[in-house]
Amino acid sequence: MNVRDLLIPFSVSCLFLFILITQPLFGQSDRNGERRLGSSYVITNTTLIPSPGKILQNQHILFEEGIITAVGKDLSIPAAAQEIKGDSLFVYAGFIDMANKTGVVEPTLPEKPEGFDPSKPMPEIAGIHPHFNVTEYYQQSNPHDKAWRKLGFTLAQKLPLGKGMLPGTSALVIYGQEGKNNLIAEHQSIYFKFSTVGGVYPNTNLGVMATWRDLIQNARLYKKHLEMYAANRNISRLEKKPVLEALMPVINGDMPVLLEISDELDIRRALKMKDENEFRLVLTGINEGDKLIPLLKEKKVGAVLTLNLPEDPSSEIPSGEKSEDFETRMDRTKGAYKQSLALAGKYEAAGIPFALTTKHLPRGDFSKNLQLMVENGLSKDGALAALTVNPAKLLGIDDRTGTISEGKMANLLIMTDTLFTKGAAIQMVVSDGYVFDYSEKPEKGSKEEATWEYEAETQGGKSTGTWKINLSDGKWTGTITYEDPQGQGMKTSSIEDAVITEEKMQFSFTVSVGSDKLDVEVSGNLSGKKFTGDMKIIGYGTFPVKAVKKDKPEKSNG
């Protein structure tokens, strides 16, 4: 007797089911196991920091379908809500990154035609393409965004790339579930920078400033022509100019200009541009210019400071003989370094609700540099605000995110201790309601054991058993128990080829039935303490399987 014989009686009874359901096989609408079990979560009894400076104890946070539905001490918690025990945890609003470019590719520009005249390039060749939309060049599934999410970032303003002065419009994306379209808003601002393509007009800041002036004037004239054309007949046709069209929201005051600067003279140039032709201005990449703080405040300019702080000059003092004034010169350098670190604190003291950008920042320096800002005058609340509520306000989305309250997006950062406390680690990040578990993984060489109870829907009905999975020296091994197909009680096989990530688990095992061997592959998604996926018996079919982890810390979900 072999397995095939055993299965035959059941397949007969299943036959009519096949006839009834001609759609994909029952239980297999989620073949790749990407559907999560539910979208409803509750973080219980946690310490909540709903906005900078506020701290609430013993709070429950309920979120569902990506929205925070309730926050408070006494909530009626729906039965379906999956619990995240928050007793020892601290919940903050997820971080927001401004002027970020990870995952964005540079557009391919048109070839220069034969006999090309670099003094009159088409705008795209000159790096003037404000009509380009970053969403068309953004690769949502990129490793960088995931890595930033692991550091607490849940939402980012994506910048278009380009070598010239007007690369395009920015967009807002959420660092949520892969495979979904995570766009929040597009054409969110016009991105401007003091740079040029090289080899064509404009080639320096001289040409950039002049080009901007002409563009603004001509956008106004374009608008005038457009209005005339709309109101009257017998007006000559308006030649479509995508560049000017893209600037219309700027002259109308509907769209801000996100202007990237690299030093304080750039800030002066930006303010001059604003003085000459009024527009909503947000400066990004601010790294110096203490003296300009009052002016920026007076002119109500949005400010985004760079997290990319300079290297400590005292870390690499050259060896060898020093000239007599080396020390005094070194003191000035150190002073300038300290001044860079203190800049954020000065913005805070001046009452400018600034945000931060990670552009150009090596990921490994994020926490260190934030800490440096705090050690040099920025308050902890100020640092949190610069990563949450301030950017939300600058981006005009503070009614949706940046703080934690009912109705806001479920963008949360769950820490093991308060921010800036030594040893505080990120336990989980919730982005768009999806839970990403970053709880401490055991180190290589140590052991981890987990026992799972599973339930598979096979043709023969429900089949149950356990998986015992161990991590030993970086390698997953284990055993699976199952009901003997020959009705001889429970049997055990060893688990092979196990691959377990934060979001997925798969392994295979072999079932001996008499002299035959059945190869079985299990794969699916991890979601908290839950596994949901398929069990594929090679040669026979695929059956849904669910499992629940039996011991303490949970794995994650996607």
340 contributes a contact to other proteins by CB under 8 A = yes
Quick one: which of 416, 370, 374 has its CA closest to 91? 416
202 contributes a contact to other proteins by CB under 8 A = yes
Residue 224: how many other CB atoms lie within 10 Å: 10
How far apart are CB 321 and other proteins at their closest, in Å?
9
Binder among 16, 230, 318, 475 for other proteins (CB under 8 A): 318
Q: Containing H/E element for 224?
A: helix 205-231
122 contributes a contact to other proteins by CB under 8 A = no
How far apart are CB 352 and other proteins at their closest, in Å?
17
One DSSP character per residue, 386-438 reads HHTHHHHHHTT-TTTSSS--TTSB--EEEESS-TTSTT--EEEEEETTEEEE-
Contact segment (CB under 8 A) with other proteins among 182-190, 264-272, 416-424, 544-552 equals 264-272
**Please, are residues 470 and 449 in contact by the beta-carbon 8 Å criterion?**
yes
How far apart are CB 231 and other proteins at their closest, in Å?
11
Burial of 174 (0-12, 13-18, 19+ CB in 10 A): buried
Binder among 335, 362, 407, 514 for other proteins (CB under 8 A): 335
Which two three-digit tokens encode residue 423? 């040893």
377 contributes a contact to other proteins by CB under 8 A = no
207 contributes a contact to other proteins by CB under 8 A = yes
Contact segment (CB under 8 A) with other proteins among 36-44, 80-88, 232-240, 537-545 equals 232-240
The residue among 120 and 447 lying less far from other proteins, judged by its C-beta, is 120
210 contributes a contact to other proteins by CB under 8 A = yes
Binder among 5, 65, 106, 117 for other proteins (CB under 8 A): 117
How far apart are CB 371 and other proteins at their closest, in Å?
18
The residue among 54 and 213 lying less far from other proteins, judged by its C-beta, is 213
How far apart are CB 397 and other proteins at their closest, in Å?
33
Strand 257-260 to 281-286 pairing: parallel
Contact segment (CB under 8 A) with other proteins among 18-26, 37-45, 60-68, 324-332 equals 324-332
329 contributes a contact to other proteins by CB under 8 A = yes
Which residues, in sequence order, are CB contacts of 51 under 8 Å at separation 6+?
93, 388, 389, 403, 404
Amino acid at 122: M
The residue among 18 and 229 lying less far from other proteins, judged by its C-beta, is 229
Which residues, in sequence order, are CB contacts of 180 under 8 Å at separation 6+?
432
213 contributes a contact to other proteins by CB under 8 A = yes
Binder among 333, 421, 446, 501 for other proteins (CB under 8 A): 333
Contact segment (CB under 8 A) with other proteins among 185-193, 309-317, 504-512, 524-532 equals 309-317
The count of residues interacting with other proteins (CB under 8 A) is 58
Binder among 264, 381, 457, 502 for other proteins (CB under 8 A): 264
d(CA 434, CA 340): 37
Binder among 23, 57, 119, 488 for other proteins (CB under 8 A): 119
d(CA 342, CA 379): 11
d(CA 227, CA 147): 48
44 contributes a contact to other proteins by CB under 8 A = no
488 contributes a contact to other proteins by CB under 8 A = no
Binder among 332, 363, 444, 517 for other proteins (CB under 8 A): 332
330 contributes a contact to other proteins by CB under 8 A = yes
Strand 490-500 to 475-483 pairing: antiparallel
326 contributes a contact to other proteins by CB under 8 A = yes
Q: Is 105 helix (H, G, I), strand (E, B) or coil?
A: coil
**Please, are residues 505 and 526 in contact by the beta-carbon 8 Å criterion?**
yes
Which two three-digit tokens encode residue 160? 């278009």
What strands, in cross-sheet order, belong to the sheet with 355-357? 168-169, 190-193, 257-260, 281-286, 302-306, 355-357, 95-100, 153-158, 171-174, 183-185
How far apart are CB 342 and other proteins at their closest, in Å?
11
Q: Is 533 helix (H, G, I), strand (E, B) or coil?
A: strand
235 contributes a contact to other proteins by CB under 8 A = yes
Which two three-digit tokens encode residue 268? 């002066």
209 contributes a contact to other proteins by CB under 8 A = yes
How far apart are CB 168 and other proteins at their closest, in Å?
22
Which residues, in sequence order, are CB contacts of 236 under 8 Å at separation 6+?
none
d(CA 232, CA 131): 27
Which residues, in sequence order, are CB contacts of 43 under 8 Å at separation 6+?
60, 61, 83, 84, 86, 89, 91, 412, 414
180 contributes a contact to other proteins by CB under 8 A = no
Residues that bind other proteins (CB under 8 A): 117-120, 198-207, 209-210, 213-214, 217-218, 221, 224-225, 228-229, 232, 234-236, 238, 264-265, 268-269, 272, 291, 295, 310-311, 313-314, 316-318, 322-323, 325-326, 328-330, 332-333, 335-337, 339-340
